[in-house]
Amino acid sequence: MKASAAGCVAALSPVFALAKTEDGFFDLAAVKGQARLYGKDGGLSNLWLYNDRLPGPQIRVKRGERVRVRFTNNLEEPTSVHWHGIRIDNAMDGVAGLTQPAVAPGDSFDYDFVAPDAGTYWYHAHNMSWNQVPRGLAGALIVEDDEPTFDPDCDITLILNDWRLDENGTLETASFGAMHDFAHAGRLGNWLTINGISMPDIALKKDRWHRLRLINASTARILDLAPARFGARLIGLDGQALDTAREIEGTVQLAPAQRMDLVLRPEETGKLPFEMMTGKPFTFANFIVSETDSEDLALVLPPPNQLPEPDLSSSWELPLVMAGGAMGGMRSMMRNGVEMDMHQMMSEGLFWAFNGVAGMDGDPMFSATRGDTILLESRNDTAFPHAVHLHGHHFRVIERDGTQLEHPDWRDTFTSQPRETVKIAFVADNPGKWLIHCHMLGHAASGMMTWFEVA
Ligand code: C2O
Ligand code: CU
């Protein structure tokens, strides 16, 4: 990670919010566009963007609202849009090849779904995601609580993104799809932006409660953050509100695709660094606190969503063993029912497996009956961390390495360190075909992806 260019700061303006058209649709188009990722001294990067914006425009709806998005693909390759973290109608999940055919260049697709839970979600491309998301195809999807809990100007969306830039400060593209990245930690970058801006100043008001909605849209970078260092407490994870504002001692990880909602009320004017804590604290933005000009509102926490509680007394226990990758010692894996040795696997660009199977087999990993409680025991037999996402459901993370967690938080993406065992539980109550994959997108593309069915 390079140090950000000192003195080259830009104020963060609020993420552009998309307005509905007269017929009640959000118009969203994937297009080619450009942005200066390195700041004003860097070159223009060629990106793929939603509505020519970086990040994509923010879509804001009310809890329970019907969301209709008229999506047009103006790229030269097929794409689709996934609404990450929404317990969505399966047909609208946006997974090219599983829930819909990819939208061809020039074609349109209407997404039409209900957003049942309030919270911080996001949307991103879901066809060849490893090649599309890291070019800019991502945006925030915010589902508002029934009653607004924060002033709009104190409710701040921050999309964190790790880019791989070349020596001109523009997006490095030659290494897209590099097998070396796929087999190791994924496409790690060397430059962080927030809402597309390098080293931004984030304006806060003294003595006011703020809600920060953090979204990690990176393809592979796990961000170690320390909210207490700037006086913030945790109020939500992956869209789901906690029942209290939690103090975080030390650091907390925000893995690719994960979200974290924070609250803070700065007590002094001035500057507070926003740091990444991997190694030495590394500042990638600053909070600039100024005098307030309006009245303070009391802190009202968003109420938790009502999610189906897993019944551990009658759960269906299933393993999810992650294997493969560089230094993983894997000798063979199954591909469409056929055993392949390491050499064959690598020649097909497959490096990873769940339960010994690489990539999407014809058969689901499991078929649940609607209402079943699933207890997945994941074991990471690889040399790398992973961030595993389940589509269409939220789950509780209940145990790590045999220890029950004090906070069995609801999540849609869980992290797993090398050699770690993680237990998650959820009620399979959403009918359809749902992906389970690593959200390090190169890992997903090279085998770490499967699916399950709920009928
Ligand atoms: Cu955020 Cu399958 O994706
Ligand atoms: Cu992974």
**Sorting pLDDT into bands at 50, 70 and 90, what band is 9?**
low
Residue 167 burial by Cβ neighbours in a 10 Å radius (0-12, 13-18, 19+): exposed
Report pLDDT digits (tens) over 373-420. 999 999 999 999 999 999 999 999 999 999 999 999 999 999 999 999
Compute, in angstroms, the gap from residue 89 CA to the centroid of ligand 1.
15
Task: State percent of the chain over pLDDT 70.
Answer: 98
Report pLDDT digits (tens) over 149-180. 898 999 999 999 999 999 999 999 999 999 99
Compute, in angstroms, the gap from residue 265 CA to the centroid of ligand 1.
33
Residues 258, 238 contacting (CB under 8 angstroms): yes
To 5 degrees, how large is the angle CA 115–CA 239–CA 266? 130
Mean pLDDT of 201-221: 97
Please say if the pLDDT value at position 361 is more than 80. no
Q: Put residue 176 in one of left, alpha, beta given phi > 0 → left and psi -120 to 50 → alpha.
A: beta
Please say if the pLDDT value at position 7 is more than 60. no
Please say if the pLDDT value at position 140 is more than 90. yes
Using a 6 Å cutoff on CB, does residue 394 contact ligand 1?
no
Report pLDDT digits (tens) over 310-327. 999 999 999 999 999 999
Atom of ligand 1 nearest to the CA of 95: 2
Distance CA 260, CA 236 (A): 6
Atom 1 (ligand 1) nearest CA = 84
Distance CA 204, CA 158 (A): 13
**Sorting pLDDT into bands at 50, 70 and 90, what band is 108?**
very high
Please say if the pLDDT value at position 48 is more than 60. yes
Mean pLDDT of 79-107: 98
Using a 6 Å cutoff on CB, does residue 388 contact ligand 1?
no
Q: How many CB atoms lie within 10 A of CB 147?
A: 8
Atom 3 (ligand 1) nearest CA = 84
Single-letter amino acid code for the residue at 237: L
Mean pLDDT of 278-285: 93
What is each CA distance from 449 to 91, 175, 389, 398, in whole angstroms? 19, 22, 10, 22
Mean pLDDT of 215-235: 98
Residue 303 burial by Cβ neighbours in a 10 Å radius (0-12, 13-18, 19+): middle
Using a 6 Å cutoff on CB, does residue 210 contact ligand 1?
no
Compute, in angstroms, the gap from residue 444 CA to the centroid of ligand 1.
10
Torsion (CA) 35, 38, 43, 45 in degrees, nearest 10: -40
Q: What is the model's pLDDT at position 260?
A: 98
What is each CA distance from 34 to 14, 66, 122, 194, 195, in whole angstroms? 19, 32, 21, 16, 14
Tell me which of 418 and 9 has the higher pLDDT. Answer: 418
Atom of ligand 1 nearest to the CA of 85: 1
Using a 6 Å cutoff on CB, does residue 133 contact ligand 1?
no
Q: What is the model's pLDDT at position 307?
A: 98
Mean pLDDT of 418-424: 98
What does the mean pLDDT of the chain come to? Answer: 95
Q: What is the model's pLDDT at position 329?
A: 87
State the ligand closest to the CA atom of 99. Answer: 1
Q: What is the model's pLDDT at position 61?
A: 97
Compute, in angstroms, the gap from residue 410 CA to the centroid of ligand 2.
20
Using a 6 Å cutoff on CB, does residue 87 contact ligand 1?
no
**Sorting pLDDT into bands at 50, 70 and 90, what band is 1?**
very low
Chain-centre distance for alpha carbon 373? 24
Using a 6 Å cutoff on CB, does residue 389 contact ligand 1?
yes
The DSSP secondary structure of 317-353, one letter per residue, reads: EEEEEEEESTTS---EEEETTEEEEHHHHHHTT--EE
Task: State percent of the chain over pLDDT 90.
Answer: 89
Mean pLDDT of 26-31: 98
Single-letter amino acid code for the residue at 179: M
Compute, in angstroms, the gap from residue 10 CA to the centroid of ligand 1.
30
Residue 271 burial by Cβ neighbours in a 10 Å radius (0-12, 13-18, 19+): exposed
Mean pLDDT of 224-232: 98
Q: Which of 248-257, 273-282, 295-304 is the least confident region? A: 295-304
Mean pLDDT of 207-217: 97
Tokens found for residue 342: 């390491």
State the ligand closest to the CA atom of 183. Answer: 2
Using a 6 Å cutoff on CB, does residue 435 contact ligand 1?
yes
Using a 6 Å cutoff on CB, does residue 82 contact ligand 1?
yes
Distance CA 48, CA 132 (A): 7
Using a 6 Å cutoff on CB, does residue 36 contact ligand 1?
no
Mean pLDDT of 195-202: 96
Using a 6 Å cutoff on CB, does residue 259 contact ligand 1?
no
Atom of ligand 1 nearest to the CA of 435: 2
Compute, in angstroms, the gap from residue 446 CA to the centroid of ligand 2.
10
Residue found by looking up tokens 């790590």 in the block: 400
Tokens found for residue 335: 């591909």
Distance CA 57, CA 292 (A): 28
Residues 58, 15 contacting (CB under 8 angstroms): yes
5-8 long-range contacts, CB within 8 A, separation 24+: 5/38, 5/39, 5/41, 5/198, 5/199, 8/39, 8/40, 8/41, 8/198, 8/199
DSSP state of 132: H
Residue found by looking up tokens 């829930």 in the block: 99
Please say if the pLDDT value at position 5 is more than 50. no
Compute, in angstroms, the gap from residue 268 CA to the centroid of ligand 1.
39
SS (H, E, C) 394-452: CEEEEEECCEECCCCCEECEEEECCCCEEEEEEEECCCEEEEEEECCHHHHHCCCEEEE
Tokens found for residue 75: 């790229």
